[in-house]
Amino acid sequence: MAAKTKRYPSDLTDMEWAAMEGLLPKPAQRGRRRKADLREVINALRYLVPSGCGWRMLPKDFPAWQTVYWWFRRLMRWFLFRTLHDIVLMLDRELEGRQRLPSAGVVEVSR
């Protein structure tokens, strides 16, 4: 697959996409072809979550908001949304020269 041009800072890099592509559902062998590019759907979700914009306010260069919402619901149902987030987080940590997984945690205790 050819490298994609990043339009937004939240867009997936080719390395991030390669790491998560295998976890996503494959297109059906029969029936109607998938209209939406899953990479673009994930890019839309990565734009939407930190920006806090509404579903209907997604920029027009992403797939239709209904499509993005449908995939969001599907990924949440399969518990994949958190997994995809964790993969990108580990890759980002690795690129910064840190361990993939944090070596320590912080526990807050309040009374």
Q: Is it the case that residue 44 has pLDDT exceeding 80? A: yes
Residue owning tokens 């994609």:
4
Token pair of 75, please?
A: 């990924």
Among candidates 70, 99, 86, which has minimal Cα distance to 23? 86
pLDDT 10s digits, 68-107: 999 988 888 877 767 777 777 777 777 778 776 666 666 6
Asked whether the whole model's pTM tops 0.85, one would answer no
Number of residues that make up the chain: 111
24, pLDDT greater than 70: yes
